[in-house]
Structure formats: C-alpha cells, structure tokens
Amino acid sequence: MLGAIEAGGTKFVCAVGDQNGKVADRIQIPTTIPGETIPKVIDFFKPYSMDAIGIGSFGPIDVNRESPTYGHIMSTPKPGWKDYPLVQTLKNAFGVPIGFHTDVNAAALGEATYGAAEGLDSCLYITVGTGIGAGAIVQGQLLQGHSHPEMGHILVKRHPEDPYQGRCPYHGDCLEGLAAGPAIEERWSEKGIHLADREEVWKLEGYYIAQALMQYILILSPKKIILGGGVMNQKQVFPHIYQYLEKFLKDYVPLPELSEYIVSPALGNDAGITGSLLLAHQALTEKSGR
C-alpha cells in the first residue's frame, strides 16, 4: 500500500492508495504543533501495510539529499515546525522509502500524470491562495536545483493605479505580497469571495498573475500552465490573465491558444494528494532499483 501526505500550513491530508492515484482511505488532520499533528498522522497509517510514503510539504523545505538537514522543514514562522525532521520521523515510524518534495511540485506531478497536463513531460502548477507557490515538471522531472523554486516571490511591476503596498514580510510588493488571497482582502477590505462581481478586483489580479506567467514562460517555457488554489476558483480572472499576457508578451514567443494553455487543475483539490501517491511510488521504485 502507498501512503500520501499533503502537508499544509493549516491541515495535513493523509491518504492510502495506489500508483494510479486511487485513494482507498483518507483523513484530514489540523496542523497545530508537530507533537500533536504527527502522532495522528502516524496513527492513520499504522493499520496499513505500508510500502512507501510520499510527502508534498509546505516550505521552505530541504530537498537536497546530500544535506544533513534533508527532509526538514526549514525557516517557517509556524510554531514548532522550524527545522522539524519530517522525513526522518516518518522513516523511523515505518521504515519504508519516503518521497519528499514541495506541495506544489507534488501537485505538478499529479496534474502531469493524471490531470490537465496528462502525457506531457513539462508543466507548471501554480497555486494562488493564502500564499503563492509553483512547482514544475521539466523534461519529465520535478524541477529542483540548488534548492526548490520559490516562484511566488518574484518581483512584479506595481500597477500605476494600485496604491496598495503589498504584504510580503520579506519583499513587500513581490507577487505573493500583491496578489495572494490576504493581499486581495487587505487591499479591498473584503474577502475575495465577497468581491466576485467587482470587475476591477479581478482585472488587477489578472494584471499581476499575467506578469508572473510572462516571466515563467520566458524562463521555463512550460508546455502547459495550471492555475489552482482558492483565488483561482474565481474563474472570471482567467480572461483578464489572457488579455494582459497577450499585451505583455506581444507575440514574442509562439504559444498555443491561451485558453487551452493556461487552465484550471483537472484533479481539482486532489492534485497534491495524487502527486504524493506518485512520489511514494517513485521512492519505492528508486529503492528497489526498478
């Protein structure tokens, strides 16, 4: 049996299933402190005969296998989780291979295998919610280099008529600081979900997301772009993204029809957990040398 953990800042989704993404059982556990959350995670998997576990985790995380802190959650402000050895703890509990990537890389893998980018060796998965993050498949592999990408914090040009200063504690008006859910709420003094019919809100959101997509396209040239996360449930933002992206790119690179190129996740909220099952399967096949 394969195990999957989508480790998020507000909840851990745990599931058991197979490499086809079929889930046999699942549970949600609130993310409080490790001493509370992790024993419940372990209890969930205990009854099953586990072969491997895949984790898609909130970050930043250490994904460098040569590093002494491989498998740790790094400098998060979440109490108790800074430097927490997530991979080692689960390895100790179950003694099985553990796959470990960012939550967004897991979602990218899920969508590239069974979702909107099925059959492609390249895609970009972006989530716009409480924060902004992105994972990518590049020539069939999860993108990773010196560390994992942090695409949510790229610089964007402020809209000349947007007086909002941004709220990223690190960068102020980076992409996440200007365009994640909390920024929308603070700028317009109302939650995004209550702003659905305010066109100016989604036009401005489209302005920032399109800028980010321009950078991602020019740098990575993905074969498909998938936009998930709570904010992207406001589908009225998509036409604004297409319009601004055309305006910014000026036909400089050949792209497919934008409405087919930049899409919603086909797996909905299950992209991450599906990808985590696939990470478990990868860890297992790596281990057995298959």
CB of 14 to a second copy, least distance (A): 28
42 or 255: CB nearest a second copy? 255
Residue 122 within binding range of a second copy, rule CB under 8 A? yes
Nearest residue to 230 (alpha-carbon basis) of 102, 133, 89, 96: 133
- CA 62/CA 264 separation, integer angstroms: 29
118 or 252: CB nearest a second copy? 252
CB of 173 to a second copy, least distance (A): 9
Cis peptide before 256 (omega within 30 of 0): no
Instruction: For residue 288, give every residue at least 6 positions away whose Cβ sits within 8 Å of its Cβ, in sequence order, or none.
Output: none
- CA 24/CA 69 separation, integer angstroms: 32
Site string for a second copy, 232-261 (x = CB under 8 A): ----------------x-xxxxxxx-----
Site string for a second copy, 126-165 (x = CB under 8 A): ------------xx-x-xxxxxxxxx-xxxxxx-------
Residues 189-208 that bind a second copy (CB under 8 A): none
Of 48-56, 220-228, 229-237, 274-282: span binding a second copy (CB under 8 A) = 220-228
143 or 263: CB nearest a second copy? 143
- CA 37/CA 130 separation, integer angstroms: 21
Contact between residue 151 and residue 133 where contact means Cβ atoms under 8 Å apart: yes
26 or 153: CB nearest a second copy? 153
Which helix or strand (DSSP H or E) is residue 285 part of?
helix 271-287
**92 CB neighbour count, 10 Å cutoff:** 10
Residues lying near a second copy in the complex (CB under 8 A) are found at: 60, 74, 122, 138-139, 141, 143-151, 153-158, 170-171, 211, 214-216, 218-223, 248, 250-256
